[in-house]
Structure 1
Amino acid sequence: MDFTARKRKSLRLIPNNSNSQYSLDLSMYNIPPIGETSLEEFETLAIERLQLMRVLEQAASKGHKINSEEWKKCIKEDLNKLDLKKFVRLMNGLDGQTELDINARRADHLSHFILRLAYCRSEELRRWFINRELEWFRLRFMVQNQTTLNRFFESNKLIYSPISDPEKNAIFNELLMSTFNMSDVNIKSSNFFKVPFSEVCSLIRSRRVFVKLGYAYIPTNELIVCVQAKFRANLSEALNVANHRLPSLDDDRINTFLLNLNHSYTGKDYTSPSSERKEMDIADLDLHSKKHYPLCMRHIHETLRATHHLKHKCRLQYGLFLKGIGLTLEDAMDFWREEFTKLMDHNKFEKDYAYNIKHAYGKAGGMVNYSPYSCMKIIMDSVGAGDHHGCPFKHWDSHLMKQKLMDYGVSTEGIDAVLELVKGGHFQIACTKYFEYTHSMQPPSSVINHPNQFFEESIQMSGEKKKA
């Protein structure tokens, strides 16, 4: 990838005719892309890769054991929901050579290198990216047949030759006693590889393989451990190199995009309410706040009702949420005016607050139709003393969180589960767990990543219809 080019009409990335480069579903990503792509495709591929990474992260958080069939099924379902069929295609191990297969591999290759630029900037970002890429690599590796794996090894100069049958027969009993979950029939029909024990320390530690004279004898299905170790080492080094070269990437268009990519929202757009439901009646807000609001919005609503005022950031967070669930500008003006004029006269409200409400709806100032805040934006916002905006799961202490959850009817079991997730920094998953424990243990369709998603799924689950 060229870090020095200053071309404005396109970015140098990849040639059009690259079928030979993309003949395999699996890649070590050793060869950077060259050629050109549009800025629009650059951004699209980055967002799609980020969606893939987040799907992988969330699959394990749903309680599925990594690499289990349930985990794989969950990933496929979520990718299909996001219309990321190109990645689903790479999970099937079909080794196809159609145009769709080539395009899927090309997108996988380009998007990987784009995200390297976004996630090489800090140790925390690098760690997250490497873990997700390892999961994605293993997912595809385990569905390849031996012929495809041999082609992959050859193309990447990875030398793994199975031991001969006489050698295997000589240590047959040792393999039978030491190899995890393999019968004598499996051992006879499987290839075994002799590798330095230092490459498979995790297998030795868990006593899954036979070791002799400094070498481990591993079946084909355990080769992933060796290859993954090389993949991790190569990627870690590549991210460090990319970080050192970032200063030479001097295109402001992509610099700004990459700098903020890890905070990007990749879900549904809630700028306008769902077409399935019309306007929200302000008379229903108190009831909806108890039944269908996420914790952040319920807390803000209750604070507004109790104090009849909110600070600017808090008004923005809640006001845009209300806009997203269907509150019209006219009703929003009435709602905020009714509350605020309990502490001030109408003239002060019209002078100091009415303009900001119109501005949020794109009816004043730059006429921008602002989007409701995503969970990531709310989580990353700064919160000071006396503020009520932000994400409760991140910004509240455990005592306040526990008390609020008790007040809202969450069971002791649920409180413990939520607090454990909060302790681990899994704020959106904690919100998802809160959804489950406030909806008779019915989970949402996916991990909560937007307050308006929480509201929409809660409404749909209850079967309620908003007033037209």
Structure 2
Amino acid sequence: MAFYLNPPSGILSLSEVRLAILTRFKFLAELYRVKGDSEAVWSKVAPKFIADAQYLMEGTTTDRCAHFLLRLVAHVDPLVLEFVTHCERMLFKVRMEALNSTGFCKMFGKLRRHLYLASMDADDGERRNWQLISEAVVALVESKGGSQQLANAFTAQSTSTQPFLVPFTFVLPLIRTRQVILSGGFAEILPADLPLVLTGIFDKITALTAKRSSDAFCQTVIDERIAQVANELKAVAYEYGINVGPPPIAKYRSKVNSEQIDQFSLLFPPCMRHLHRELRAKHRLKHHQRVS
């Protein structure tokens, strides 16, 4: 079970980037088709991806690469991005169901360390948000006396009835349905609700890293090679029944200048792409004069 805090460093070939993005998306689409059912995932979905399993094996560098690359390129279409975010959440839940006590302890140890480092490296606008998540995780662990005790509560969640405290922001669904007791900003929950807490942490981390991937997409999509991969991702999404539309060009209009427009036009719908080529070839005005 991975929270995907930071992308790994290194160099990948374009073919590896393409394979990582498309393999992970197809896996998530198959996961969605079986509605995140753990038994169906391991018995029906996973065998289809044995050849490219390195992009899906939890905890590996290639798994992290595939996650962040897909989330980056998924910004090509709002519906694709929404679908990927939803399915990554489903994958997180499937992996959580297979977690044992030892894996839980290791996961929480890494999470605490990486959250602290993320809060130190974040800019002023994001630092406080990272610190809040880090403090919440520490409070969650300390509420049970340590990671091992928390892991024991997690693995025995169906039988244990001893409650513990978590920040209320991680259990908003329980608060809306009045299933918890609130005290001083904390919610008293049972171990059976711990998966909901972990999913809440995952959602908050995903939301914090979403802005970074959006900004990065604006810079990378002008590369013709990435634009081609993005369009291929849209085609695969269409095959799986996702009602994708034209790329949200207007969202990035302020990022495009007259030198970048030719490369960016690769993402235009066919009619707009043809119009751009014709204007480039025949119009007497330059680009910045034409759009002013």
Pick the TM interval, shorter chain. 0.5 to 0.7
Partner of 2:111: 156
Structure number having the greater helix percentage? 2
Q: Go from structure 1 to structure 2 and tell me whether the alpha carbon gap of 1:379 and 1:143 turns closer, same or farther (over 3 Å shift).
A: closer
* Match status 1:53 vs 2:28: yes
Residues 140-196 of structure 1: CA deviation (Å, up to 9, x unaligned): 12221233222222212232225469xxxxxxxxxxxxxxxx88x6326xxx43112
Amino acid at match of 2:194: L
Within 1, Cα distance between the matches of 2:171 and 2:42? 29
Structure 1 unaligned regions, length at least 5: 1-25, 61-65, 91-100, 166-181, 266-373, 383-468
Partner of 2:226: 254
Within 1, Cα distance between the matches of 2:101 and 2:2? 16
Partner of 2:60: 105
Contact 1:45 1:110 in 2 (8 A): yes
Q: Go from structure 1 to structure 2 and tell me whether the alpha carbon gap of 1:109 and 1:31 turns closer, same or farther (over 3 Å shift).
A: same
State the structure with more CA Rg: 1
Q: Go from structure 1 to structure 2 and tell me whether the alpha carbon gap of 1:162 and 1:142 turns closer, same or farther (over 3 Å shift).
A: farther
Contact 2:174 2:180 in 1 (8 A): yes
Please report how far the alpha carbon of residue 376 of structure 1 lies from its aligned counterpart in structure 2 after TM superposition.
Answer: 5.5
Partner of 2:39: 73
**Highest RCO, 1 vs 2 (Cα 8 Å, sep ≥ 6):** 2
Within 2, Cα distance between the matches of 1:41 and 1:209? 47
Within 2, Cα distance between the matches of 1:186 and 1:255? 51
Within 2, Cα distance between the matches of 1:263 and 1:194? 46
Within 2, Cα distance between the matches of 1:139 and 1:241? 26
Partner of 1:125: 80
1:173-188 correspondence to structure 2 within 5 Å: 186-187=160-161
**Secondary structure at 1:120 match in 2:** helix
Amino acid at match of 2:172: C
Please report how far the alpha carbon of residue 112 of structure 1 lies from its aligned counterpart in structure 2 after TM superposition.
Answer: 0.4
**Secondary structure at 2:141 match in 1:** coil
Q: Go from structure 1 to structure 2 and tell me whether the alpha carbon gap of 1:380 and 1:207 turns closer, same or farther (over 3 Å shift).
A: closer
Give the structure-2-normalised TM-score: 0.60
Contact 1:163 1:193 in 2 (8 A): yes
1:297-316 correspondence to structure 2 within 5 Å: none
Of 188, 191, 199 in structure 2, the residue corresponding to residue 228 of structure 1 is 199
Please report how far the alpha carbon of residue 257 of structure 1 lies from its aligned counterpart in structure 2 after TM superposition.
Answer: 0.9
Contact 1:130 1:236 in 2 (8 A): no
Please report how far the alpha carbon of residue 88 of structure 1 lies from its aligned counterpart in structure 2 after TM superposition.
Answer: 11
Q: CA RMSD in A?
A: 3.6
Q: Go from structure 1 to structure 2 and tell me whether the alpha carbon gap of 1:220 and 1:38 turns closer, same or farther (over 3 Å shift).
A: farther
Partner of 2:212: 241
Within 2, Cα distance between the matches of 1:375 and 1:131? 18
The number of equivalent residue pairs is 210
Q: Go from structure 1 to structure 2 and tell me whether the alpha carbon gap of 1:233 and 1:187 turns closer, same or farther (over 3 Å shift).
A: closer
Give the structure-1-normalised TM-score: 0.39
Residues 294-326 of structure 1: CA deviation (Å, up to 9, x unaligned): xxxxxxxxxxxxxxxxxxxxxxxxxxxxxxxxx
1:2-401 correspondence to structure 2 within 5 Å: 26-60=1-35, 71-84=37-50, 105-157=60-112, 158-159=137-138, 160-161=140-141, 163=143, 186-187=160-161, 192-249=163-220, 250-264=222-236, 375=239
Within 1, Cα distance between the matches of 2:16 and 2:61? 12
Within 2, Cα distance between the matches of 1:254 and 1:129? 18
Within 2, Cα distance between the matches of 1:379 and 1:196? 37
Within 2, Cα distance between the matches of 1:40 and 1:156? 31
